[in-house]
């Protein structure tokens, strides 16, 4: 575990204020009871009331709010709700129900613009970058645009709750959410191995998680699939290095 703080409000504000995720059209007011309740009751009251609803009902309400809170015909990318690491998904034609971004060149250009904007975010309290890493799924897994995964993974600077982040064209503000915890699972861990085919007392250095499966297959004498992007950790296996 490591120090980590919620960033849901920041990534949602980023997508909306920088024009990637368009707001719903407001030309015609909704008469649905749930929409009227959202307009009348303050957010704190709605959160308090939702705690008394069954989990399935709460999830349906969140899904409904997510689906109807965006004009999908004008949205190029949107934030997938998440607490710590942020996820951005492109509204890709042929993949999303109302996708507008064309695959290939337009898709790649859009990812480049989003990554550039994310790297310009500053934590004004200490005047440092607010985002420490942005990764493309297509590069992480060597694949085409994923069917179910997000297109970008965004790792924010840890250490404290960032209520305000600035961009040259916008100011992003988030409120402390109802679900608030000061820690999350770290992206780093350790590997220890022992056995008749494992090298004794050898320091492996940095190990990539995708290297573990090919290594285990090699240890039990099974072939390593060419579809695996990881490599056998030769230093772990007795007699290999």
Q: Write the pLDDT tens digit of every residue in 150-193.
A: 999 999 998 889 999 999 999 999 988 767 777 777 777 888 88
DSSP code at position 176: P
Domain count, the chain: 2
Asked, for residue 39, whether it belongs to a domain, the answer is no
DSSP code at position 197: T
Provide the token pair at 85: 């690491």
Q: What's the chain's average pLDDT?
A: 86
Asked, for residue 28, whether it belongs to a domain, the answer is no
N- to C-terminal Cα separation, the chain: 33
Q: What are the residues facing 5 on neighbouring strands?
A: none
Asked, for residue 6, whether it belongs to a domain, the answer is yes
The more confidently predicted of residues 82 and 187 is 82
Task: Mark whether 178 and 196 lie in a shared domain.
Answer: no
Helix, strand, coil proportions of the chain in percent (round to 5)?
Answer: 30, 15, 50
The domain of 109 spans 2-23+70-184
């Amino acid at each position: 575990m490591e120090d980590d703080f919620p960033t849901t409000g920041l990534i949602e504000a980023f997508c909306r204020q920088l024009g990637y995720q368009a707001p719903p059209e407001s030309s015609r007011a909704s008469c649905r009871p749930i929409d009227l309740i959202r307009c009348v009751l303050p957010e704190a009251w709605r959160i308090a009331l939702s705690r008394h609803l069954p989990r399935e009902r709460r999830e349906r309400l969140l899904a409904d709010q997510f689906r109807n809170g965006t004009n999908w015909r004008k949205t190029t990318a949107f934030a997938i709700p998440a607490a710590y690491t942020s996820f951005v998904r492109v509204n890709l034609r042929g993949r999303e129900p109302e996708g507008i971004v064309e695959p290939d060149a337009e898709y790649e250009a859009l990812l480049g613009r989003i990554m550039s904007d994310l790297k310009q975010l500053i934590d004004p309290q200490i005047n440092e970058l607010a985002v420490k890493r942005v990764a493309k799924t297509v590069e992480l897994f060597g694949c085409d645009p994923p069917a179910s995964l997000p297109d970008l993974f965004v790792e924010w600077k840890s250490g404290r709750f960032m209520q305000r982040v600035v961009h040259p064209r916008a100011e992003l503000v988030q409120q402390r959410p109802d679900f608030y915890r000061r820690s999350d699972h770290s992206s780093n861990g350790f590997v220890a191995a022992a056995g008749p085919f494992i090298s004794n007392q050898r320091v492996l250095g940095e190990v990539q998680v995708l290297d573990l499966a090919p290594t285990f297959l090699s240890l039990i004498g099974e072939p390593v699939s060419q579809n695996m992007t990881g490599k056998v950790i030769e230093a772990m296996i007795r007699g290999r290095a």
